[in-house]
Amino acid sequence: MVNFGFFDDWHPQPGRVTSWSVSATAQAVMRDAPEHPIPPTYQQREYLRTTQRTAAAGHRASRLCMISYDIPGNPDIDAMTRAVTAFVRRHESFSSWFTVESDERVVRHVVDAQVLELVPTEHGEFTDSDAIRRHVQDTTPDALHWNCFSFGIIEQEQAFTVYAAVDHLHTDGVAQALTCVDLLMLYGAELSGTEPALAPVDGHLAYCARERAYNTELTEQSPPVTTWLKLLQRNGGEMPTFPLYLGTENAPGYVRGAVLTLPLFTESDALRFEQACEDGGGRFLGGLFAALALTEAELTGNDWHFILSPANTRSAPGEAGAVGYYTNLLPIAFDVPPEARFSSLVAAAQEAADRAKELTDVSAHRVLELAAPEPGIRVRPGWSAMMLSYVDVRKIAGVEMFDRINGGLFANRAAASEVYVWINRFPDVTTLSLVFPDTEDANESVGRYVKTLTEITAAVAGAGDYALRVDA
């Protein structure tokens, strides 16, 4: 199956390491690049501001995303050099660098893609996986640096492992899978002396301009904005948060993130859970939101569930294959009556998830700009929110290829001030992963939360339903 997880879950075979990064000449050109009129996306802007704040506090909030896969035989260093250079030239996002000014204004600088050139560096033999994991993370700068992406190979006797480590500023979940496919095809084309069979892609700048234009036209009276504001007002003026105590109020800035990953379903259990969702008028995703809502209600008695979920915002024809940060956060909210059962709640959860798609192009950050005079809105700059991300890995194009090449998608832990949940469905298992502040209180609270959540999902998979306990 595809390997998903965090850097701690990546276990490459030791070997001789060679990495590629932006040439000194290209970096010098970028340092002199003038300001570009197209700003970053709202999500990128806030991501960079958060990176700046946490860097000053001594933490890394910048998330490093990585793909890896194995190729039999010996590597051709010159062919790989041409392949990774062609990759960064192909995807426009890599041509931008951002500076965060003293007033937190984020400025884009752009160079011509043909200036981009990656050069190899040999690092010698590595004898254990831990050293390789540290090397990749330590040698790839954060999002405040243009060269916040690197590529490498780990050469063994009869094969080699390829990795691409790219800061979240230039990638997302979809883009990680696209990166693997692109690099395989570009390297193969370089070896054979042919043109790679890759469709042209649209540039990220056009997407940024489109997002900004749409959101600039919004007003406080625009229906999508009023929808967001009503949700925030019902939630006490705040973004959704983890329902249990995390113990972060005395932490200076952000704290290092802890990671917990465990199996949620076998595929046979997942199929039974999916059937229960359909029987209740929902789908698998709605069932996950319903399970989280029941978990919160059991632990706190809350009668309303509110959480954010990332959405893929690629919509132009040429964006389907584009690598870049094409995501937005959608608000999922629905009532949880005291007599709620999974079978009665899943349809409401599914409806909330479907309804939220209407807000795909609406930035929460723009909503908060417009809400400045709105009474009762208490969200502050640098906010974070509880999030659930679900990926059905079985539907990723070329997933069978990932099996053959030992493909994997990973991320670093970074800093965390909230709880972020990832549920990934593979052909044989569905996994649950959480990143949360590494405090004693958060570890205890997350443990309680996971215990309740897995009891609920197991009951639904086993019996087809679950009812809130009377004392919830």
Give the domain CATH number at 75. Answer: 3.30.559.10
State which of 206, 238, 253 marks the end of a domain. 206
Rounded mean pLDDT of 176-194? Answer: 95
Instruction: Please report whether residue 403 resides in a domain.
Output: no
Instruction: Please report whether residue 192 resides in a domain.
Output: yes
What pLDDT was estimated at residue 395?
83
Q: By the 8 A CB rule, do 330 and 308 touch?
A: yes
Interhelix angle 342-356/267-279, nearest 10 degrees: 90
For residues 258 and 471, the model is more confident at 258
Instruction: Please report whether residue 212 resides in a domain.
Output: no
Are 186 and 85 members of one domain? yes
State which of 183, 206, 229 marks the end of a domain. 206
What pLDDT was estimated at residue 216?
97
Closest C-alpha among 364, 441, 433 to residue 393: 433
Residues 6+ apart with CB under 8 A from 336: 293, 294, 296, 297, 302, 303, 304, 305, 345
Beta carbons within 10 angstroms of residue 378's beta carbon: 12
State which of 206, 230, 253 marks the end of a domain. 206
Largest CA distance in the chain: 69
Instruction: Please report whether residue 406 resides in a domain.
Output: no
Q: By the 8 A CB rule, do 71 and 160 touch?
A: yes
Rounded to whole angstroms, the Cα distance separating 48 from 52 reads 6
Instruction: Please report whether residue 420 resides in a domain.
Output: yes
Residue 354 has pLDDT above 80, yes or no: yes
What tokens does 250 get?
């005395």
Report the number of distinct structural domains present in the chain: 2
Are 265 and 193 members of one domain? no
Q: By the 8 A CB rule, do 163 and 66 touch?
A: yes
Are 228 and 342 members of one domain? yes
For residues 391 and 352, the model is more confident at 352
For residues 391 and 211, the model is more confident at 211
* pLDDT tens digit sequence for 158-176: 999 999 999 999 999 889 9
Are 30 and 77 members of one domain? yes
Are 179 and 61 members of one domain? yes
Rounded mean pLDDT of 309-320? Answer: 94
Instruction: Please report whether residue 405 resides in a domain.
Output: no
Question: Would you place residue 116 in the very low, low, confident or very high pLDDT band (cuts 50, 70, 90)?
Answer: very high
What pLDDT was estimated at residue 57?
67
What pLDDT was estimated at residue 60?
73
What pLDDT was estimated at residue 69?
96
Are 290 and 439 members of one domain? yes
- List the domain range (segments joined by +) for residue 326: 219-393+413-463
The reported pTM is 0.93
What pLDDT was estimated at residue 5?
81
DSSP, collapsed to helix, strand or coil, labels residue 248 as coil
Instruction: Please report whether residue 402 resides in a domain.
Output: no
3-state DSSP percent of the chain in helix, strand and coil, to 5: 40, 25, 35
Are 153 and 248 members of one domain? no
Are 421 and 286 members of one domain? yes
Are 248 and 335 members of one domain? yes
DSSP, collapsed to helix, strand or coil, labels residue 283 as coil
Rounded mean pLDDT of 56-67? Answer: 82
Instruction: Please report whether residue 401 resides in a domain.
Output: no
Beta carbons within 10 angstroms of residue 172's beta carbon: 21
What pLDDT was estimated at residue 251?
66
Residue 415 has pLDDT above 90, yes or no: no
Rounded to whole angstroms, the Cα distance separating 355 from 330 reads 10
Are 163 and 263 members of one domain? no
* pLDDT tens digit sequence for 431-466: 999 999 999 999 999 999 999 999 999 999 999 999
**Tell me, what CATH number does 445's domain have?**
3.30.559.30
What pLDDT was estimated at residue 247?
93
Are 26 and 101 members of one domain? yes
Are 241 and 197 members of one domain? no
Q: Which residue has the tokens 């809130």?
A: 468
Closest C-alpha among 370, 381, 368 to residue 48: 381
Rounded mean pLDDT of 398-418? Answer: 84
Distances from the Cα of 158 to the Cαs of 3, 113, 161, 268, in angstroms?
A: 22, 35, 11, 37
DSSP, collapsed to helix, strand or coil, labels residue 210 as helix
Rounded to whole angstroms, the Cα distance separating 255 from 234 reads 29
What is the enclosing helix (H) or strand (E) of 175?
helix 173-192
